[in-house]
Structure 1
Amino acid sequence: MSSGCLVPFFPERKIMASEHNRTEEKKTYTVGEIAEMLGISDKVAYTLVKSGQFKYVRVGRAIRVSKSSFDSWLEPN
């Protein structure tokens, strides 16, 4: 008797995939993460991002800020 599942379930693949995601270094920040790191509101963080201080891309409606660009901006000159 079939369980009705068309795709076989491979729990070991799911575990390997989640371990890979944890070890992979993050390349972008969300605006919320930037707001939290800087101790500012999301609204102020969006204004900062839109001002062109660092590189960002849109993924659908979401904004992702380049980690390297933000980290360089954050470092003292």
Structure 2
Amino acid sequence: MSTNEKGTPQSRTYTVNDIAAILGIGRASAYKLANSGLFKTIRIGNMIRISRKSFEDWLKMEDV
């Protein structure tokens, strides 16, 4: 597992806010995307976490 500059393990998931920032979209659009089934998500109570690998694989496919 890679580490960031602080030496902590890099998260294996993104938050909805993370994907909104990565894609340059609003939170509402990011929630719609997260709930679309295009990549793997994990629900913890009312929080949504997006699989980093699944999201990055989807993003690569969209770039083609």
Q: TM-score with structure 2 length normalisation? A: 0.80
Structure 1 residues 11-47: Cα deviation after superposition (integer angstroms, max 9, x where no partner): xxxxxxxxxx843121000001100110000000000
Equivalent residue for 1:68?
A: 53
Instruction: Tell me how far 1:70 sits from its aligned partner.
Output: 0.3
Q: What amino acid does structure 2 have at the position aligned with 1:30? A: T
* Identity across the alignment (%): 46
Stretches of structure 1 that go unaligned for 5 or more consecutive residues are 1-20
- The alignment of Structure 1 onto Structure 2 pairs a total of residues equal to 57
Q: TM-score when scaled to structure 1?
A: 0.68
Give the CA RMSD over aligned residues.
Answer: 1.5
Identify, as 1 or 2, the structure richer in helix: 1
**Largest Rg, 1 or 2:** 1
Write the mapping of 1:17-32 to structure 2, written as runs, cut at 5 A.
Answer: 22-32=7-17
Moved over 2 A (4+): none
**Structure 2 residues not aligned, in runs of 5+:** 1-5
